[in-house]
């Protein structure tokens, strides 16, 4: 069931942000990351909007690849978490130009014993310092040789890694990871992919054959301390919800669960049909900004499951039905995330359940 709250998706801003990535990495092809429902924006809609702009799409799993192929999206699909078993490998081969990423020895064994209807292009992921998924860099040459010789594999496996600290370009870990990757792959053929959004914008040395922009496509900043607007990124998702009630409060009145907010003077409060059940962060504190009638206002008290309260004392004429912007145009999602002690990725990914999704541009 959908609520009155809505997420408006500006597809023209999405395409603008991809072009910003291209300008930042002009010698690289773009593997647009649209996993997790395109960070909450709707995977199929985003894929269709970027089909003429991207060179490939990056996903998290084979199930996402199936959804895109059934929707008629035919660009190459790179599956970042690869596959669990031979059944998923067979499905990848049948879907066509689905390229699994191999990150563990167990996956190599599955691939070597699978009876596939057609060979697959694959990538090898090296763990250069993230220490999450990835194969040992010291074994890169032997592993690539082994995989390339398999009849289940088409062409030379690509080589990729993932950067742990690219959002803080001044930290030394990223250069250390690049050095590990380059040392391990110096004498190897095959395409390379390293750069995420932050590296696309600030680390030319990480922009190899393919770049993998993710959060920047959706108009949020991938860099600590830098605003999206200064990076030539436009907000794609604007979340809004209607006012359902307006109340006058007296000095001393407490608002919401726990009475954590107490009015110091008479206030006018608007109750908005948006809560943590809709993906708004429960821990957003009093004072977190929203926009009402084009003016900034502040949250009052705790966010509830279906509602939140806003101080509209300085905005005359607020009435039930007025739209309140929670983030997006005129109110960066990064700012709301910072106020709530989280990151923009989490906010964007969490709104897909009950909100009405509207697409334009």
DSSP code at position 74: -
35 classed as catalytic:
yes
Containing 313, the helix (H) or strand (E) segment is: none
Residues recorded for the chain: 361
Rounded CA Rg of the chain = 23
Structure tokens at 99: 């390229």
Distances (CA, A) of 251 to 254, 260, 261, 263, 303: 9, 14, 11, 5, 21
Query: Helix, strand, coil % (nearest 5) of the chain?
Result: 30, 25, 45
Q: Which of 35, 39, 261, 280 is catalytic?
A: 35
- For residue 14, which of 33, 36, 1 has the smallest C-alpha distance? 33
Q: Which of 234, 257, 264, 345 is catalytic?
A: 257
Spatial neighbors of 142 by CB under 8 A, at least 6 apart, are: none
Question: How many Cα atoms are found within 13 Å in the side-chain-facing hemisphere of 26?
Answer: 1
- Catalytic residue numbers read 35, 257
């Amino acid at each position: 069931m959908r609520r009155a709250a809505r997420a408006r998706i500006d597809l023209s801003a999405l395409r603008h942000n991809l072009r910003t990535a291209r300008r930042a990495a002009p010698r690289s092809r773009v593997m647009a990351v649209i996993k997790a429902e395109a960070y909450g924006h709707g995977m199929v809609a985003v894929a269709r909007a970027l089909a003429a702009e991207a060179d490939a799409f990056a996903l998290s799993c084979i199930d996402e690849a199936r959804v895109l192929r059934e929707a008629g999206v035919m660009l190459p699909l790179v599956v970042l978490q690869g596959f669990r078993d031979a059944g998923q490998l067979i499905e990848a081969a049948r879907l066509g130009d689905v390229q699994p990423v191999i990150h563990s020895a167990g996956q190599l064994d599955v691939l070597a014993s699978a009876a596939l209807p057609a060979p697959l292009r694959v990538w090898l992921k090296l763990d250069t310092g993230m220490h999450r998924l990835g194969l040992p860099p010291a074994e890169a040459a032997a592993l690539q040789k082994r995989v390339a010789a398999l009849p289940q594999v088409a062409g030379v496996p690509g080589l990729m890694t993932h950067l742990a600290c690219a959002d803080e370009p001044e930290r030394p870990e990223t250069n250390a990871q690049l050095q590990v990757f380059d040392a391990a792959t110096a004498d190897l053929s095959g395409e390379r992919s390293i750069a995420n959004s932050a590296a696309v914008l600030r680390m030319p040395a990480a922009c190899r054959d393919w770049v993998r922009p993710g959060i920047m496509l959706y108009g949020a900043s991938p860099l600590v301390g830098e605003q999206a607007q200064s990076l030539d990124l436009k907000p794609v998702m604007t979340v809004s919800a209607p006012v359902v009630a307006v109340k006058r409060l007296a000095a001393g009145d407490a608002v919401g669960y726990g009475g954590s907010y107490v009015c110091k003077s008479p206030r006018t409060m608007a109750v908005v049909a948006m809560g943590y059940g809709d993906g708004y962060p429960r821990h957003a504190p009093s004072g977190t900004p929203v926009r009402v009638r084009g003016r900034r206002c502040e949250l009052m008290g705790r966010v509830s499951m279906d509602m939140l309260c806003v101080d509209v004392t300085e905005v005359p004429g607020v009435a039930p039905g007025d739209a309140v912007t929670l983030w997006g145009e005129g109110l960066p999602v990064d700012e709301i995330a910072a106020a709530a002690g989280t990151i923009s990725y989490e906010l964007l990914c969490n709104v897909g359940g009950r909100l009405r999704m509207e697409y334009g541009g």
